Structure 1
Amino acid sequence: MTSDAVWQHWQLRHDPDGIAWLTLDCAGDGPNTLGRAVLEEFGQVLDALDAAPPRGLVLRSGKPAGFAAGADLREFDGYRDADEVASLIRHVHGLFARLEAAPWPVACVIHGHCLGGGLELALACHWRVAHDLPSTRLGFPEVRLGIYPGFGGTLRATR
């Protein structure tokens, strides 16, 4: 069993049964978004889990409003060119593929909004459990902005 770990946006805890509980709780008061720093840390989380595999992993949100709102749209203006965006998309594909291929069971607990890249992250998990509440919303709203869901979620959604 690995030791517990805390990053700026993620907390990893282990219960006595060897189940790892991974909480996404982006720094600040806003919703969870999948910005560059969050995704870089997620790679470190996966490295820690690979180094000492748990019996299972439960992914959840630390935010009361919901799981994740998707990409951090504030970062879009910071991309220099299409090559930089393509590189980021390939990197995230790799992260989500690592999660999907994990040799231990991975479950995602969803409450509130689970949108865009947040839904794509949830779809990379083996199982998803969503609270049956009016506030629970799943979807790819970026298509209304002319943005294709780029992290592999449209393929995973059909499985």
Structure 2
Amino acid sequence: MPVSSRFDGLPMLNWHAESRDDGIVVLSFDKAETAVNTFSQDVLIELDGILERLRLEPPKGLVIRSAKASGFIAGADIKEFQAFDERGTVGDAIARGQRVFQRIAELPFRSVAAIHGFCMGGGTEVALACGYRVASDDASTRIGLPEVKLGIFPGWGGSVRLPRLIGAPAAFDLMLTGRSVTGKAAKAMGLVDRVVPVDQLVEAAARLA
């Protein structure tokens, strides 16, 4: 699949965009120089630019996936947030994440998160910002919001979007315990729309987009 010309001139250090013949853009998260995907501010700034291009040149649909074998997204870059806390800029970092994820929610076309492996914290929040979610049936797939274990709460819209999606009781259970669920359990509670074998994940997501 070719890299779409709609992204010409954008820095693409952590994200790779491919345009399919069916009009779907597959956006793969592959954070530079690390084995695990986490949301740092440079990643969010880069994503924001990509979303603006997509808004200006809309595809038929968007699939967000991980290019890492280790999993989908581990969440926010906690070490970076510790540095922000020391400088008193945590609020700015949280606000940026909220704005970027809201842009995903407001895209004028379908967006689908293709989840394989761990999907935690900010990873779950970006999946919730998408219109649809597809998870692999692999045992390694676990979805959760473990922020409570760090003494914080989901700050990028997850605490609002999750109750709307699965109801307050189930959402509070996940957020207040920090526990994670399998793809099949997530499907049973309405957190994901489909569960498929990992080798069918992107195609299943593209069909929803």
* Equivalence for 2:60: 55
Match among 2, 5, 8 for residue 3 of structure 1: 5
In the TM superposition, what is the alpha-carbon distance from 1:60 to its structure 2 partner?
0.4
Deviations 1:11-62 (A, max 9, x none): 1110112111100010123200000110010101101111210000011000
Aligned to 2:47, what secondary structure does the other structure show?
helix
Structure richer in helix, relative to its length: 2
Structure 2 counterpart of 1:144 = 149
Which letter maps to 1:52?
A: E
* Superposed displacement of residue 4, structure 1: 5.9
Aligned amino acid, residue 150 of structure 1? G
Q: Distance in 2 between matches of 1:70 and 1:94?
A: 16
Q: For 1:3-22, what aligned pairs fall within 5 Å after superposition?
A: 3=5, 5=7, 7-22=12-27
Identical-pair percentage: 44
Give the Cα separation in 1 of the matches to 2:12 and 2:161.
28
CA distance in 2, matches of 1:114, 1:48: 26
SS, match of residue 25 in structure 2: strand
After TM superposition, the runs of 4+ consecutive aligned structure 1 residues lying more than 2 A away are none
The amino acid across from 2:13 in the alignment is: Q
Cα distance, 1:138 vs structure 2: 0.6
Once the two structures are TM-superposed, the CA of residue 76 in structure 1 deviates from its matched residue by 2.1
Which residue number corresponds to residue 28 of structure 1?
A: 33
SS at match of 1:103: coil
1:77 deviates by: 2.6
Partner of 1:66: 71
Is the 2:35–2:70 contact (alpha carbons within 8 Å) kept by the matching residues of 1? Answer: no
TM-score, reference length from structure 2: 0.72
Which residue of 64, 67, 78 maps to 2:83?
78
* SS of corresponding position for 1:78: helix
> Following superposition of structure 1 onto structure 2, how do residues 35-46 of structure 1 map, counting pairs within 5 Å?
35-46=40-51
Unaligned ranges ≥5, structure 1: none
Equivalent residue number for residue 92 of structure 2: 87
Query: Secondary structure of 1:54's partner?
Result: coil
Normalising by structure 1, report the TM-score: 0.93
- Give the Cα–Cα distance (whole angstroms) in 1 for the partners of residues 150 and 34 of structure 2: 25
Instruction: Please identify the structure whose Cα radius of gyration is greater.
Output: 2
**Aligned pair in 2 of structure 1 residues 41, 136: CA closer, same or farther (>3 Å)?**
same
